[in-house]
Structures are given as structure tokens and as C-alpha cells.
Structure 1
Amino acid sequence: MAKHAITPDDILPYETYAKERKERRARITELKRARRVAVGPYATFYFENYATMFHQVHEMLHIERGGDEQVADELHAYNPLIPNGSELVATLMFEIDDEVRRDRELRRLTGVESHIYLEVGGLRISAVVPPDDVERTKADGKTSSVHFLHFPFTPAEIEKFRDPKAQAILAIAHPNYGHMALIDGAVRASLAADFS
């Protein structure tokens, strides 16, 4: 059964993580590859789970070296990105290298988080922004290049997602960014494991 939260007891000692870091980073890179979906030319969804957040927490602790005092803050920040067993959770990143083009495109994507959904076998699951998340669109209309999204599933939607005959599509239907991508193969299998 999947774990839905990292506890202080799960945190590895600094020395242990430092010793295993290279190997752990190689493993997590492979895992993340099977949890990544590009939608259109700029948007990439990185679907999170316990393992990706366990890695992220340990990376933050390793880099910042805040010790035990830092653990509670990292768990508070990253535990909400671990799926609860009836949802998928994604970090959406608009990845545009050119600064001028990035600024222009992000200004065109005001409210993009309200135009994102998964469709599975004809059933639509709209993305939801966590209620305690910060506002991702500035007063001038420019949206953030990073969004945190939850896709809450009903039992029937989970059943459809697990059915390989039912097509799964991830879509952004913003008036200025209309793109979709099929979710199948290793990615779909990896995401299906989040439902437990």
C-alpha cells in the first residue's frame, strides 16, 4: 500500500543520505521519467508521489543543512504534494528558456489553472488548486511558471483510469494555450499505482 505522508521518523540521517545520494538521485531520475507528461510546447506536468517528495525533502535538508529544525517546515511544504490514494498530484511547469518570450507567454496564461483537466474514458476530472496555495496569478495578469495541482478521482474514475481500454488524456484548454497529450504505457502504469 502506498504511503501518503512523510513523517519525521522517515527522515534519514544527514550522513546516510549524503553517502547514498548519488545512487538515490539516479533512481529518482528514472522514476520521474515515467511520471512526466509534456502538453504542448511549454507545459510539463511532473506527477508527484511519496518517492518524489521523499527525495525532494532530503535534497532540501542536504542542501540547506538546517538539521532537525528544518524537518517540520519541509514536511509541511511537501507532504501536501503526496497523493492521498484517490487523486493524482502534479507540479505543472511552463518551461521557456528565453526570458522575454517566457514573460510574454505567462502574461497570456492568466488563470490557466482553471482550464486543466484529465479525461479518462469520457469522464472529466478537473484540476483543483489546494485552498492554502498562494495566488499564482499576479495583479497584472501574469501567471506563475509553476503550479501545484490536484486531480481528485471518484471510484468510478479510478476504475476507468486502471482500464487500459479507456483512453486517458491530459489537457490544457486555456484560450491562449489549447493542447493535450495522451497518457499511456509506463507513465499510466506509474500513475495508476497512486490509487491505493
Structure 2
Amino acid sequence: MQLTGKITPDSLMTLEAYSKWRKAHKEDVIAHRKLRSVQLGEHIMVQFESELTMRYQIQEMLRIEKIFEEEGIQQEIDAYAPLVPDGGNWKATMLIEYPDVSERKRELGRLIGVEDRMFVEVEGQARVYAIADEDLDRENEEKTSSVHFLRFELAPAMREAVKAGAGVKLGCDHTHYPAHLQVGAETLASLAGDLR
């Protein structure tokens, strides 16, 4: 899978080529995804996306749905390519995870607005709150969704600090889910690679 900086129909593999590639590289992609996953407290998982994770997601959807026509391929690209960081930000999928159904229903009701209270804090810099769910609203008056898409825009000084080795906190200051942690060194090194 070649990373080109922009996902286009021409840059994707055919279903046959992807099937062969997948057998040899699936474990590598899973390891990359795991490296970029941060557990925040007991119930929030933040998966920082990359061109690799989104190319893999698109190729998987094409494979599963057996999509090979231009229109269908473009629809998958349009759905997932916006989650590729553009050099000035980090983009992430946030999952709110409660195994028990009744607890999940209750907590999703208490966590309305949680996606807007997610932040990253680069050492020595102000907090940057997530811009959430730009494609569509994922909550209503009764509950929030268990899945949100986040974008953290980093100023040039923040990007330079991260690339120079500054620490980064990931956190949430929602009334019902106060949590924060230092992003681990290996994860942060991978995230620093997203920045220009």
C-alpha cells in the first residue's frame, strides 16, 4: 500500500491486488492502529487516524462490499479521506465504550457534549479543543453517539514543539468524564510524523 498524501481512485489497489497485500500486511496495519490508540479513562478510546488507517479502511470496505465501480469507490473515498490528517492537525475516531447496554444508554445520556470537551495540550502551550463531527451531528437532546470524529488543529508553534519532543496530554473536561493522560512516547512519535 503506497502512501501518496492524497487518496484517489487511481492510488487504490484493485480488489485482487489488495487481497494479496492484505495477507502479507494486515498484522502491520493492526499494530499501527494499536500504536495510535489511546485509552482515556475506562470508557473512551481515541484512535488517531492516518493515511494508512484510512487507506486500509477504504480498501476493506471495497473488499467487503465488492465495490469496483468508479462511483462506489469515490463514495468510500469521500466518506473516509476527510479523516486523514493534513499536516496541521490530528484527526481521530472517538469511541465511547460501555459493555452493559443499560449502563451505556444511561451514560450516553449523561455525556451529551463530551466530544466538544476533548482536548490535547502540548507542553508549554494552551489547550486545543476538538472540532467534532464536522460531517453531521451525532447527538440529540436525549443522548450522544458512541462514535465521534475529532479534529485537533495545532498552531505552527505547537507542531514544532511536538516535533522537537514536547510532551502532549490528551484529555476531557466534561463534567461527567474528567480525565487526562500523557500520550506515550511511541504513540507521540507516530503522531509527530503527521505534522509538517
TM-score band w.r.t. shorter chain? over 0.9
Is residue 126 from structure 1 mapped to residue 129 from structure 2 by the alignment? yes
TM-score (normalizing by structure 2): 0.93
Equivalent residue of 2:132, what SS?
coil
- Tell me the secondary structure at the aligned position of residue 91 of structure 1: strand
Structure 1 counterpart of 2:75, one-letter code: D
Listed as ranges, the gaps of 5+ residues in structure 1 are none
The answer on whether the counterparts of 1:57 and 1:75 sit within 8 Å (CA) in structure 2 is: yes
Deviates more, 1:169-178 or 1:14-23: 14-23
State the match for 1:98 in structure 2: 100
Separation in 2 of the partners of 1:19 and 1:63?
15
Structure 1 residue identity aligned to 2:101: E
Which structure 2 residue ranges, 5 or more long, are not aligned? Answer: none
Query: What's the counterpart of residue 7 of structure 1?
Result: 8
Deviations 1:28-66 (A, max 9, x none): 011111101110000010000100000000000000012
- 1:70 is matched with which residue? 72
- Helix, strand or coil for the counterpart of 1:151? strand
**Matches of residues 1-196 of structure 1 in structure 2 within 5 Å?**
3-68=4-69, 69-123=71-125, 124-131=127-134, 133-140=135-142, 142-164=143-165, 166-196=166-196
Q: What's the CA shift string for 1:140-182, capped at 9, x where partnerless?
A: 2x00000000001111011122232x32100011000001121
Distance 2:124 2:4 in 1: 29
Letter in structure 2 aligned against 1:108 = R
- On the 8 A contact 1:128/1:151 being kept in 2, the answer is yes
Matched residue of 1:134: which SS? Answer: coil
* Cα drift, residue 22 of structure 1: 2.5
- Give percent identity, aligned residues only: 37
CA deviation vs aligned residue, 1:67-117 (integer Å, no higher than 9, x gap): 123100000001100001110000000122111111111111001111111
CA distance in 2, matches of 1:93, 1:40: 12
Larger relative contact order (CA 8 Å, sep ≥ 6): 1
